Structure 1
Amino acid sequence: MEHKDHTVTPLSLLDTDLYKFTMQQAVLQHFPGVEGTYRFTHRDKDVYFTRECFDRFRRSAAQFDKLKLTKEERAWLEKACPYFETSYLDYLEAYRFNPDQLRLRFEPIPEDKERNERGDLSARGRIQIEAVGPWQETILWEVPLMACLSEIYFTTVDTDWDYEGQEDAAYQKATVLLQADCVFNEFGTRRRRSARTQELVLQGILRAERDHPGRGKVNGTSNVFFAMKFNVNPVGTIAHEWFMGVGAQKGYEHANGTALELWEKTYPNALLIALTDTFSTEAFYKDFLANKHFAEHWTGLRQDSGDPFVYAPRAKEIYQQLGVDHTKKIIIYSDALNVDKALQLKKQCDELGFKCAFGIGTSLSNDFKKKSSGGSEKSKALNMVIKLSSVDGKPTVKISDEITKNTGDPTTVEYVKELFGIPVTKEDEVS
């Protein structure tokens, strides 16, 4: 939501991804009072923010404490998300963002340092963001902060774009997916160009579903506010930070199995899609193979890094080793998807006998062309993340299936890689 002073805040406390709330409830249950630190990484080193962008972002973040759960929103959550306990909804109703938890800093590039000192708002630089406080509180900063920063960047730094054709483009993409019998979800909150973009995209894909009944399915959106507004399913389960935090707190050797066990205690019969790649999918399978219950009881698996086309064949092997019928399981794909990739993966899963669904984010909510190019040149989305960096002072890490791209403390990354037999190379990129 843009205000008269050009600040941007979420449309609601619910203007975030569902899995932030599902994980918050689990953290409250299993790790109350544990401190959690989140840290921002901007991966495009040649793309800069400006002082104006940073100042507006800082003013915007300071207003997050005005957000609160309304009575209407709580009543809707009770019906739409029956796995939320009354005690958690009480907590969420009382929750307020605490801007004092944020550490925000603008670092001008060397050639613009003097301009920045003169107060020149066009000075270029990088932004540092940390959120420090109880994990059960800081867990909610990630998604709305990134959505807010993206929207401000694209209204202050990169303004070479417009909204023309956005709803129709989403409609056309959805039509192709639906006609191929694909089940998919809109996952675009974190890196959306703006809240208006996400709303246009949802209007487009839901219009396509109405126009093509009986073909495929728009299963819902990860954005809880828009799920309520459009009367669709809020979707999402669990993210890497859960496994990262559990590993740091409980030990890495069986972090995956421990994370699944704790999750089941909070959600015994819901939200059972296992994210496999926090410390590499092969490391995940060690705990998965050691406890057949996980394969039997959990609904399926989520693929989020590495080569997606090796994922389903390997998952089939694992289920077969355990004597579990893989045709009753689902694979959710959520890594940098576009329409063509989803169609190819759907074909592969059909041939292998897996059910599948797709979580599509940036290619829906931030797929723009440069206005000056007449539509021939892509306007790139920001390539950014905010990750859990420590719990109670213990560093957290993410290895993923892109084994040269790691997140976290280099020493801990090396330790976890050696623990799981993953090669440590000079090319390792720690962000």
Structure 2
Amino acid sequence: MSASLTDLAVPLSILDTDLYKLTMQQAVLQQFPNVHSTYRFKNRSISTLFTRQSIERFRTAVSHFTTVQLTSAELSWLQAACPYFTSDYLDYLSTYRFKPEQVKVNYIPVSADQLQGRVEIDVVGPWVETILWEVPLMACLSESYFQSVFTDWGYAGQDELAYSKAQTLLSANCHFSEFGTRRRRSYQTQDIVLQALVRASREIPSSGGLSGTSNVHFAQKYDLTPIGTIAHEWFMGVSALKGYERANVTALKLWEEVYTPGTAPLIALTDTFTTTAFFKDFASDSELAHRWTGLRQDSGDPFTFGPRVKEMYEALGIPHASKTIIFSDSLDVDKCLKIKKQCDELGFAKVSFGIGTFLTNDFRVASTGEKSKALNIVIKLASVGDKPCVKLSDDLTKTTGDQDTVDHVKRVYNLSA
């Protein structure tokens, strides 16, 4: 990879993505290999504008994604580190190439000089191919923004800051993972952060620890466990194709056809159509609840989640202490410590935290010392098989997708407007 491509935020590796993109790609390859899809970008902060220069930089970077491919060393590592990947899938990934023509970028100027504006991004193509675009596209757009729009920042102190955060978490005996690829300030930032986390985990005694990273490339680079199983888009896509009645159960059982219980961690994401809807589905199948090893909270109030999980498992006759509970929504150190305290009091023995932007995009404005905000951006599955996909979430500001379908899901699960 030439220096110029690195400067353009082109991924250094096809594994520079979150693990659940690969696990979901394998599932789509097996279950829905011929389904067409559309992904759509959303900037949740409407006051944040991009410059024409930053979007041109982003477009140029996207055109160079064709240079990224799985290496023989990466293939060998995946075979050893992720035994749940089949030979058929690894053969597919070995031949996979990004197709920039699948990415449609539209810059919409809003300033009088047309140099500042908004951006629309759609990714269109077979689901099994387009599924890998989301994470590196977001990381590339974020890095392009901080390279050319907001540049009043630097790397000084990032190592010490990340080490200090890890020290506090380890001293409190927290288990935690790094989840910050999508909205990182840069590849270099994530590299600095992970080096500091690894160093702290080796130097600071703790009954907790650094569990790993969601970034597969960095897991290989620093001999860490790649973390992650399943994301919202699996539930979104499956329900659009199979129907919304008991949608969560349908999605989980299809997942089990790909990942036999015991071959890979089965951690269910609870909030695609609200946690209320998930618990209604999940509790209706006690055998399924027994098989899945844990649950992940990603929106809403984390302090109501633990008590609800405990109550559900107790109602099913399942020891809640035997199950993993993971938190991954907008975490910082203080929130992790408070959640852990509550979970300890509730009797959960397996609690972990997936910490993202707080680790990989925590900067100050160099000239003023004020907080420098990360971009609040997402890329979500918009349709599969020409059917709209929606995500309700436990946070109303995160609801995305076709309003008629959102209203339909609310009726299915008797959710308030």
Aligned to 1:428: none
Task: Please state if 1:274 is matched with 2:239.
Answer: no
The alpha-carbon deviation at position 334 of structure 1 amounts to 0.2
Any idea what SS the aligned residue of 2:374 has?
coil
The change in CA–CA distance for 1:338 and 1:382 in structure 2 (over 3 A counts) is same
Asked if structure 2 preserves the Cα contact closer than 8 Å seen for 1:2 and 1:8, the reply is no
Aligned to 1:254: 246
The alpha-carbon deviation at position 2 of structure 1 amounts to 7.8
Aligned to 1:418: 411
Aligned to 1:369: 364
Aligned mates of 1:329, 1:263 — CA distance in 2: 19
Give the total of aligned pairs. 413
Aligned to 1:120: none
Task: Please state if 1:325 is matched with 2:332.
Answer: no
Aligned mates of 1:287, 1:84 — CA distance in 2: 28
The alpha-carbon deviation at position 214 of structure 1 amounts to 3.8
Q: Percentage identity across aligned positions?
A: 59
Aligned to 2:139: 147
The alpha-carbon deviation at position 403 of structure 1 amounts to 3.6
Aligned mates of 1:330, 1:136 — CA distance in 2: 29
Aligned to 2:33: 32
The alpha-carbon deviation at position 8 of structure 1 amounts to 2.0
Aligned pair partner of 1:392 in 367, 385, 394: 385
Task: Please state if 1:80 is matched with 2:84.
Answer: no
Any idea what SS the aligned residue of 2:4 has?
coil
After superposition, residues 298-309 of structure 1 pair within 5 angstroms as 298-309=292-303
Aligned to 2:53: 52
Task: Please state if 1:408 is matched with 2:387.
Answer: no
Aligned pair partner of 1:213 in 193, 205, 208: 205
Q: Normalising by the residue count of structure 2, what TM-score does the alignment of the two structures yield?
A: 0.97
Higher mean alpha-carbon deviation, 275-284 vs 288-297, is at 288-297
Aligned to 1:156: 148
Aligned mates of 1:159, 1:271 — CA distance in 2: 40
Aligned mates of 1:46, 1:401 — CA distance in 2: 24
Higher mean alpha-carbon deviation, 361-370 vs 1-10, is at 1-10
Aligned to 2:354: 359
Aligned mates of 1:146, 1:201 — CA distance in 2: 19
Q: Unaligned 5+ residue runs, structure 1?
A: 117-122, 425-431
The alpha-carbon deviation at position 215 of structure 1 amounts to 3.6
The alpha-carbon deviation at position 7 of structure 1 amounts to 2.1
Asked if structure 2 preserves the Cα contact closer than 8 Å seen for 1:2 and 1:9, the reply is no
Aligned to 1:101: 102
Q: Give the AA of the match of 1:176.
A: T
Aligned to 1:344: 338
Any idea what SS the aligned residue of 1:73 has?
helix
Q: Normalising by the residue count of structure 1, what TM-score does the alignment of the two structures yield?
A: 0.94
Any idea what SS the aligned residue of 1:83 has?
coil
Any idea what SS the aligned residue of 1:41 has?
strand
Deviations 1:309-335 (A, max 9, x none): 000000001001100000101110000
Q: Give the AA of the match of 1:387.
A: K
Aligned mates of 1:372, 1:308 — CA distance in 2: 35
Deviations 1:146-185 (A, max 9, x none): 0001111001000011000001100000000001000000
Aligned to 1:429: none
Q: Unaligned 5+ residue runs, structure 2?
A: none
Structure 1 residue runs of 4 or more that deviate by more than 6 Å after TM superposition: none
Aligned to 2:42: 41
Aligned to 2:216: 224
Aligned mates of 1:294, 1:275 — CA distance in 2: 14
The alpha-carbon deviation at position 405 of structure 1 amounts to 3.7
Deviations 1:336-390 (A, max 9, x none): 00000000010111111112100000000000000011x2x10000000000000
Q: Give the AA of the match of 2:361.
A: N
Asked if structure 1 preserves the Cα contact closer than 8 Å seen for 2:363 and 2:372, the reply is yes
Aligned mates of 1:403, 1:46 — CA distance in 2: 19
Aligned mates of 1:153, 1:344 — CA distance in 2: 33
Q: Give the AA of the match of 1:188.
A: G
Aligned pair partner of 2:289 in 269, 284, 295: 295
Asked if structure 1 preserves the Cα contact closer than 8 Å seen for 2:171 and 2:205, the reply is no
RMSD: 1.1
Asked if structure 2 preserves the Cα contact closer than 8 Å seen for 1:160 and 1:372, the reply is yes
The alpha-carbon deviation at position 286 of structure 1 amounts to 1.4
Aligned pair partner of 2:128 in 136, 144, 164: 136
Aligned mates of 1:125, 1:158 — CA distance in 2: 14
